Structure 1
């Protein structure tokens, strides 16, 4: 820990205390709920009852469900909430704790459905409190120096004043050539960054830079933890960073619509859910019935604290395998395996789910591939679309994919000039056309 971080952290918490200690008390509340499922479940049930009562009285969209239990409410998705945005929005005048205007949290719209979620003052405070709580669990205390690695735009940036007082240093990762990586390493060294937060795939670039001898373990010695966001992390990258640099990478699970949903612990692979702020359900892939523990299902959440735009039984679009509570999870259910968006997930020839990041981690090793897209057409039929500089490695590509999918996999190769873009400007690398 640094004196600079201690000084700014002390100022922050003192200021919070002078304003009622709201963030401090939220952090304490989250810790209390998650520390014991028996007492925590009672608190969660109370907050759920309050939310459902509020929503049915103040949201036109939910007014028909007065007196219903949670499981009698409809499962909704992003498109449904977008179509019913006005009916579900609650005016700020009705929210007693609201300070100023309602905050509008915008998502990227990477699925082709942009989403603007109103969030009231208390909800925003809960997001901050949860972030600080989960960071604490991996040894990253508030206001230690953080490198925030993301694509920074003119609509989302930080002023010099914010950088100084928050100790958050923006790192642009739109381009990741060696010159950019050199700038990052120099920032880590000169600013003595304590932590990094970055897209999971970005750590592949950092590890490669380290492996090629472009930087050393000593260059990164100030880093104590790396936080991975947005994508599934390659286990080999996690292992490589620990082996070569002694730096643990912790995966986080969050979305822009709600906030921090789950978090790994140091040197662990399970995701521990934020039951203090949400009620989580794992529903079957083909119905709204509960999935069994150990069965692949859809993650559906109810946000207990957004009173300006209730999100009840919201299908996140993510899939996971839940595990029943254990001593390590303080009795709360947790995520044993987290997968990406359900539309992006495929299954091998033994009908087992395959994380889409598998393909990127394999195909990046073929220097003739410029672009690729993997498609599951049917149960055993797959297509790999490739833009290549030459055809010398095609047989090896198919062989490697069979190693992922099994020998029964029928893999066709389609050579293309370009992989089409989504409306967001991104390329969708993994597509499942098979209705599992």
Structure 2
């Protein structure tokens, strides 16, 4: 489509006129991520690490005590609360008060959190996003549908949306009628090479709708679906692929940090880690020791490009398991979500949230929503929002849960009319009100 090509050309022309910052970063990101273990990539990232540590210790009060330290492991692991309580100490004296960008998130806890980012960090983040978009056969200028909760504070104007070829579809209340509206919108949009980006829970509701109504459409002109912000379960991935014949991938990123990892068309099950812009560590649950491949641990990120507020060894609160590919490069094979929402069997062993999701797949045609809550060491509550007045599989569901959580598990089923989302629009399917790990 001519307009899309013009948009693509205009984006790069504008970047060139502004100094070509995004292009320079994109070239470097591409070079590193094509061969993260190459001597060239290691030399570049080593230089970035050294520059960041030097900058942080020389220009921030928080990191000044670590002056002279040259290894990331010499620095403390920090959490969101540490930054909140010492905000000004994390600000670089060089960048304080300058034309920085404010990025914020309510997080899954609903607690507001924000950081400042300098211009080069923003350019790098744009380059990161573009690289991963390209790995999903999407290029700037093509049609992008963004499924999220859109309000005045985050919604783009009509002109910007047209210029960027973006459709911001609101999913605040994704009823059957609303899903039908969305599908009709896709059908009447004649543009090719479309990409869908949005909350995993929204795509799950769309998958359920397609399955219930036995709808198939393999000619919507969509290249790829990218789910973000929440866990993408196998049901959603497989069902959308079956009914729409479209690859469905998962993205791991955050507003305050940026683009950390994503599944790609060449890696549909594993997350390709952004080694170009971040130093990633997977640390034990109860210590700052590194875990071995195949073990779950905390995702700890060092942002190599935010000089306005250097963030070193930031504990994201999320849990992942990693493996090494054929070239010895770390990639995530599973991301579990937040540590605060880890759940345990009656003996205190961690149970993957994936196990919980699988318990409900067979009942999806009967369910509008569900939520699994650990209320105590042995007590669990299941909230069900059902389509009809009756759910005849209570005993089967309870027995299935006990098979993994323990025969002594105390399970309560509660029927509700609505399971409201968080203020961000995200939906927590697994909740732990009994915290075994603090």
How big is each residue's C-alpha offset from its partner over 1:183-232, in whole Å with a ceiling of 9 and x where there is no partner? Answer: 212221233350100111211222223234485405x5211110110111
CA distance in 2, matches of 1:354, 1:57: 42
Question: After the TM superposition, which of the residue ranges 232-241 and 386-395 deviates more from structure 2?
Answer: 386-395
CA distance in 2, matches of 1:424, 1:208: 23
CA distance in 1, matches of 2:422, 2:207: 31
Aligned with residue 151 of structure 1, among 144, 149, 152: 149
How big is each residue's C-alpha offset from its partner over 1:295-326, in whole Å with a ceiling of 9 and x where there is no partner? Answer: 11100010000001111000000111111242
Provide the alpha-carbon RMSD of the alignment.
Answer: 2.9
Aligned to 2:168: 170
Aligned to 2:211: 211
Question: After the TM superposition, which of the residue ranges 165-174 and 424-433 deviates more from structure 2?
Answer: 424-433
| Alignment pair present for 1:333 and 2:335 | no
1:433 positional shift: 2.2
Are the equivalent residues in 1 in contact too, given 2:342–2:350 (CA < 8 A)?
A: no
For normalisation by structure 2, the TM-score amounts to 0.88
CA distance in 1, matches of 2:406, 2:436: 21
Are the equivalent residues in 1 in contact too, given 2:201–2:427 (CA < 8 A)?
A: no
CA distance in 2, matches of 1:30, 1:332: 15
Change beyond 3 A, Cα 1:270–1:7: same
Are the equivalent residues in 1 in contact too, given 2:284–2:297 (CA < 8 A)?
A: yes
Gap regions ≥5 residues in structure 2: none
CA distance in 2, matches of 1:314, 1:209: 39
CA distance in 1, matches of 2:171, 2:102: 25
Are the equivalent residues in 1 in contact too, given 2:359–2:400 (CA < 8 A)?
A: no
How big is each residue's C-alpha offset from its partner over 1:387-415, in whole Å with a ceiling of 9 and x where there is no partner? Answer: 77668543232023235x25546233265
Aligned to 2:342: 345
Secondary structure of the residue aligned to 1:270 is strand
Are the equivalent residues in 2 in contact too, given 1:321–1:338 (CA < 8 A)?
A: yes
Aligned to 1:240: 239
Count matched residues. Answer: 424
Secondary structure of the residue aligned to 1:116 is strand
For normalisation by structure 1, the TM-score amounts to 0.88
1:367 positional shift: 4.4
Aligned with residue 133 of structure 1, among 126, 131, 134: 131
CA distance in 1, matches of 2:417, 2:92: 45
Secondary structure of the residue aligned to 1:316 is strand
Aligned to 2:324: 324
Change beyond 3 A, Cα 1:134–1:322: same
Change beyond 3 A, Cα 1:290–1:237: same
Are the equivalent residues in 2 in contact too, given 1:372–1:419 (CA < 8 A)?
A: no
Aligned to 2:10: 11
Secondary structure of the residue aligned to 1:141 is coil
Secondary structure of the residue aligned to 2:281 is strand
Change beyond 3 A, Cα 1:373–1:244: closer
1:254-333 correspondence runs (5 A): 254-266=253-265, 268-327=268-327, 331-333=328-330
Change beyond 3 A, Cα 1:211–1:65: same
How big is each residue's C-alpha offset from its partner over 1:349-405, in whole Å with a ceiling of 9 and x where there is no partner? Answer: 794531268348718638489764420633xx24125477668543232023235x2
Gap regions ≥5 residues in structure 1: none
Are the equivalent residues in 1 in contact too, given 2:104–2:255 (CA < 8 A)?
A: yes
Are the equivalent residues in 1 in contact too, given 2:132–2:262 (CA < 8 A)?
A: yes
1:50 positional shift: 0.4
